[in-house]
Amino acid sequence: MPHPRSRPRRNRANATVRAWHSQAWIGPQHLVLPLFIHGGHGREPIASMPGCERLSLAELEVEIAAARADGIGSVILFPKIPDHDKSTTGAESYNPLGLVPEAVRRIKSRFADLIVMTDVALDPYSSDGHDGIVRDGVIVNDETVAILCRQAVCQARAGADWVAPSDMMDGRIGAIRDALDEAGHADVGILAYTAKYASAYYGPFRDALDSSPRFGDKKTYQMDPANRREALRELALDEGEGADAVMVKPAGPYLDVIAEIRAATALPVAAYQVSGEYAMIKAACARGWLDERRVVLESLIAIRRAGADLILTYFARQAARWLRESA
Ligand code: PBG
């Protein structure tokens, strides 16, 4: 009988040997918890994201206290804005008394060392449901960037530690960096959504915020899912404009892009396991088709293996708990 001289299974024979060459690891410090907020009372369920809720500011505090206990050190906020505060210019996005600045002030006064990130984009505030201002059916770039700068400065004034532009307008990272610096917020970091794809996986998120585009799609600013080289171009621009960290989104279906960006930059790389990725896992697990704990941790380690330093995930709290239990 011919037999193999090389037997990779010798390196998998038991837990100790397996641990010698385990290459990726994950801890709660790698996880960022996205939270949805609303201006009303209590918690509102989100049908397509079971286990996630829109939180009032009081409930936001409760949720963050619990997340801290789970080991979560950073959160990112997404607001549900009522229709009467939406407009074609998204002016509510830079209202210093708006929902997001209010939320940031509240949580930073209670949890000073929590890293609070805020989303910079107009879609929650836009009556057109687009990330920028629409004129004659076109999402206009430079006018939008001017508003995004006001939004970012407003969030920084409220105490945001990092701003995360998710709008995909050209030139916004540099413009926001300048605006923050001029306003005296040189310490506020920018997590750039660098390679953000025009993805169907955002559906549940848009349900959560009632932020779907009222016409058309986002393909004139978000990237074509077929493209990899374009991600490198966006990376070069965002790095050159002063991004402190760069993001790939979605995460699971775009591991090749994460790996490519990881290889091309010395900046921290983030990946966003988006609402659709969450919803798919939740749906399969609710039917008993997948083991939730195992599949969630596998999905996250795969994103880390591809090269992500931090992961934005709706599973952050559960994952942090599971990781602690198995540590
Ligand atoms: C919008 C924004 C989106 C997400 C984060 N910021 C949706 C979109 O671009 O339409 C999606 C996040 C998710 O699906 O979990 N600026």
Per-residue model confidence as pLDDT tens digits over 72-92: 999 999 999 999 999 999 999
CA distance 99 to 123: 15
Give every CB contact of residue 148 below 8 A, 6+ residues apart in sequence: 120, 121, 122, 165, 167, 169, 172, 175, 176
Ligand 1 centroid – CA 77 distance (Å): 12
pLDDT of 2: 85
SS3 per-residue string spanning 138-196: EEEHHHHHHHHHHHHHHHHHHCCCEEEECCCCCCHHHHHHHHHHHCCCCCCEEEEEEEE
**Would you state the structure tokens that stand for residue 58, as one six-digit string?**
């009081």
Residues of the chain scoring pLDDT < 70: 327
CA distance 61 to 135: 39
User: Residues for the chain: how many in total?
Assistant: 327
Ligand 1 centroid – CA 72 distance (Å): 21
**Would you state the structure tokens that stand for residue 71, as one six-digit string?**
């080991």
- Residue type at 94 in one-letter notation: Y
User: Given the CA of residue 119, which atom of ligand 1 is nearest to it?
Assistant: 6
pTM of the model: 0.96
Asked if 219 is an active-site residue, the reply is no
Q: Which of 189, 125, 114 is nearest to 151 (CA)?
A: 125
Phi and psi (nearest 5°) for 129?
70, 20
For ligand 1, mutation pick of 35, 77, 131, 221 (most atoms within 8 Å of CB): 131
Give every CB contact of residue 273 below 8 A, 6+ residues apart in sequence: 250, 251, 252, 299, 300, 303, 311, 312, 313, 314, 315
Cβ(285)–Cβ(310) below 8 Å: no
pLDDT of 78: 98
Nearest CA to ligand 1 atom 3: 202
CA distance 169 to 260: 22
Nearest CA to ligand 1 atom 10: 202
pLDDT of 1: 80
Cβ(49)–Cβ(278) below 8 Å: yes
User: Given the CA of residue 312, which atom of ligand 1 is nearest to it?
Assistant: 15
pLDDT of 210: 87
pLDDT of 111: 98
Q: Which residues line ligand 1 (CB under 6 A)?
A: 119, 121, 123, 131, 166-167, 202, 205-206, 218, 274-275
Ligand 1 centroid – CA 58 distance (Å): 24
CA distance 162 to 309: 16
User: Given the CA of residue 211, which atom of ligand 1 is nearest to it?
Assistant: 10
CA distance 314 to 52: 8
User: What is the b/e burial string over 148-173, where b = at least 16 CB atoms within 10 angstroms of the residue's CB?
Assistant: bbbbbbbbbbbbbbbbbbbbbbeebb
For ligand 1, mutation pick of 37, 123, 197 (most atoms within 8 Å of CB): 123
Sign of the torsion formed by the C-alpha atoms of 14, 18, 19 and 24:
negative
Asked if 282 is an active-site residue, the reply is no
